[in-house]
Amino acid sequence: MAFLVAPSLLSADFLRLGNEIEWINKSEADWLHLDVMDGIFVPNISIGFPVIKSVATKLTKPMDVHLMMLDPQKFIPQCRDLGVHILSVHYEACPHLHATVMKIKEAGMKASVALNPHTPVEVLTDILEALDMVLIMSVDPGFGGQKFIPQACNKVSRLKEMIEKQGLDVLIEVDGGINMERGQSMLEAGARVLVAGNSIFKAPDPVEMIKKMKALTP
C-alpha cells in the first residue's frame, strides 16, 4: 500500500523560507507538514497564520496543518481560507472533540486527531469512523529534534488493528524523530504518512533524502 512523506516546516531555515518551499515543490514530497503552537498547550511558539499564508502563495503541495493549541476550533475558518488540505487537532485539547471534527469537515477539510505520547489510541474508539487520519506523536510535542519514543510503534500497531476491525479507511500519520530506520519500522507497524523534520531538512541533499524515504517498503 502506498504511503506519504510530509517534510515538517518546523525544521526549515526560516531565513531561506522561500528557497525551502521551492525545493519542496520540486521534490517527491506528498504534503508539507506545518505545526502551529500557542505556547500554552505546548511549551513553545511556532509559526502563525501570516506565515502559512505566505507559504501558501508559493507551495504546490497540499498543506498538512497540526494545531498544537488550546481551543483549536477557533482557527478552523482561517485554515479553510488558507486552503489547508488536512487539519489535525489534539484529543487532549478538545473537550467537544466530535463537534470540532464535524466543523473541520463542514469547512471542506480532511479531519485528523493527534495523540500525545501518553494518550492511548483506545480513546478514539467511538470517533474513529468520523476521522480521515490519526496523528501519533512519537515525541512530546513542542520542539523539533527530540528523542524518539519507541512505544509509538506499538501504538501504531494497535491503532491499525482498531481501524481494520471497524473496516475503516483512516490514515495513520507519525511525527517525531522519524528517520529512515524509524520510518521503516513505523510503516511496518501500519503508518501511512511519515512526517520528518531534521532528517530531511538537515540532510546534505534534502530532495534526495525524500526520494530515499519514498523508496522505503511498507
Catalytic one of 35, 38, 64, 132: 35
Catalytic one of 30, 81, 175, 205: 175
Judge whether 71 counts as a catalytic residue. Answer: no
- Do residues 194 and 156 touch, judged by C-beta distance below 8 A? no
Judge whether 175 counts as a catalytic residue. Answer: yes
Q: How many CB atoms lie within 10 A of CB 26?
A: 10
Residue with cell 494518550: 119
> Strand order of the sheet with strand 4-7?
4-7, 193-196, 171-175, 133-137, 110-115, 86-90, 63-68, 32-37
Catalytic residues: 35, 175
